């Protein structure tokens, strides 16, 4: 049996699966805000609850909003800022008295979908989380590609490719640069574009609904969004040439993206044809926690990451 933990900014979720990926137990608790030690204790409680249900020792994998720095062993780049600069990995291994696998939540999404989800059987999978922020993970031959600096898949903090003159220099990003993909393709970036164009604040779902109802301004912004996503994913295809790209996060619920973006990306891909598939996550919002469970399972099986 394998335990996955999804450590989010508002909730911490545990999932227990068997070797075939069948769900046996699930529970979530609120994330203690700004309380590092309380977060660790909440994870320990959830692992204990799942293991009691399993009736046996289990592997543990954890998906986090940041990454463990290979240089320091400390958490970096987490939007749950209380985790940054902390020895999260070693503290959890000490607390749980076992080896623990930790990966970025986008890597967990990629691993879940590559293992038994929408990209099962694919040799190279690129999985994108397009929500409040924008991140991505890469799985090659069933193993997470972490990279020398633990930043493989940091797609959102590259500049928008082939920008129009009106898109330069780009909006400021919290990383300190301008024009990052995240500022254009995140849900918050899309909503900000609509507010700038109309003077009206709507959430992304409402803007999409307005486009469906024939609102010309909303439709124009949707088409601009699709073009920017096509450019941004074409860059990935030119570099990695994945068989499958999986969209996750709130913006992945926009069904028209799966048809319109592949129709647009061909003119940016350096190939006479594009066989890469753009798909929705088979397990939806559960992909992250399932991927965390597979982290522990793969570690037990000796499938180490790149």
**Nearest CA among 160, 196, 151, 197 for reference residue 178:** 160
The 10s digit of each residue's pLDDT in 166-191 is: 999 999 998 899 999 999 999 999 99
The 10s digit of each residue's pLDDT in 15-58 is: 999 989 999 999 999 999 999 999 999 999 999 999 999 999 99
pLDDT category of residue 299 using cuts at 50, 70 and 90: low
Percent of the chain with pLDDT strictly greater than 70:
97
Dihedral Cα 94, 100, 103, 106, nearest 10 deg: -120
Rounded-to-integer distance, Cα 21 and Cα 14, Å? 14
Rounded-to-integer distance, Cα 81 and Cα 138, Å? 24
Model pLDDT, residue 120: 96
* CA Rg value for the chain: 19
Residue 155 has pLDDT above 70, yes or no: yes
Model pLDDT, residue 285: 85
Domains of the chain: 2-105+285-300 (3.30.420.40), 118-281 (3.30.420.40)
pTM of the model: 0.89
| Mean of per-residue pLDDT scores for the chain | 94
Model pLDDT, residue 268: 98
Structure tokens at 259: 């048809």
């Amino acid at each position: 049996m394998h335990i996955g933990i999804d450590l989010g900014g508002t909730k911490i979720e545990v999932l227990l699966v068997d070797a075939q990926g069948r769900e046996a137990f699930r529970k979530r608790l609120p994330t203690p805000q700004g309380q590092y030690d309380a977060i660790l204790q909440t994870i320990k409680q959830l692992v204990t609850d799942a293991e009691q249900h399993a009736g046996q020792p289990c592997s543990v994998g954890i998906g986090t909003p940041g990454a463990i720095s290979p240089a320091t062993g400390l958490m970096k780049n987490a939007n749950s800022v209380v985790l940054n600069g902390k020895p999260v990995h070693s503290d959890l291994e000490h607390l749980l008295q076992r080896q623990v696998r930790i990966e970025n939540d986008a890597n967990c999404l990629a691993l879940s979908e590559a293992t038994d989800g929408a990209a099962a059987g694919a040799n190279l999978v690129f999985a994108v989380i397009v929500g409040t922020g924008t991140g991505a993970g890469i799985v090659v031959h069933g193993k997470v590609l972490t990279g020398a600096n633990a930043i493989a898949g940091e797609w959102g903090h590259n500049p928008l490719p082939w920008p129009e003159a009106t898109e330069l220099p780009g909006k400021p990003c919290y990383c300190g640069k301008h024009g990052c993909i995240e500022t254009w393709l995140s849900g918050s970036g899309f909503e900000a574009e609509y507010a700038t164009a109309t003077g009206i604040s709507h959430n992304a779902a409402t803007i999409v609904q307005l486009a469906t109802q024939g609102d010309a301004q909303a439709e124009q912004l949707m088409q601009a969004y699709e073009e920017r996503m096509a450019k941004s994913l074409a860059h990935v295809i030119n570099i990695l040439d994945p068989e499958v790209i999986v969209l996750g996060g709130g913006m992945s619920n926009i069904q028209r993206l799966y048809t319109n973006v592949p129709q647009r990306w061909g003119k940016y891909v350096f190939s006479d044809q594009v066989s890469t598939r753009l798909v929705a996550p088979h397990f939806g919002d559960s992909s992250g926690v399932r991927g965390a469970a597979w982290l522990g399972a793969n570690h037990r099986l000796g499938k180490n990451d790149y």
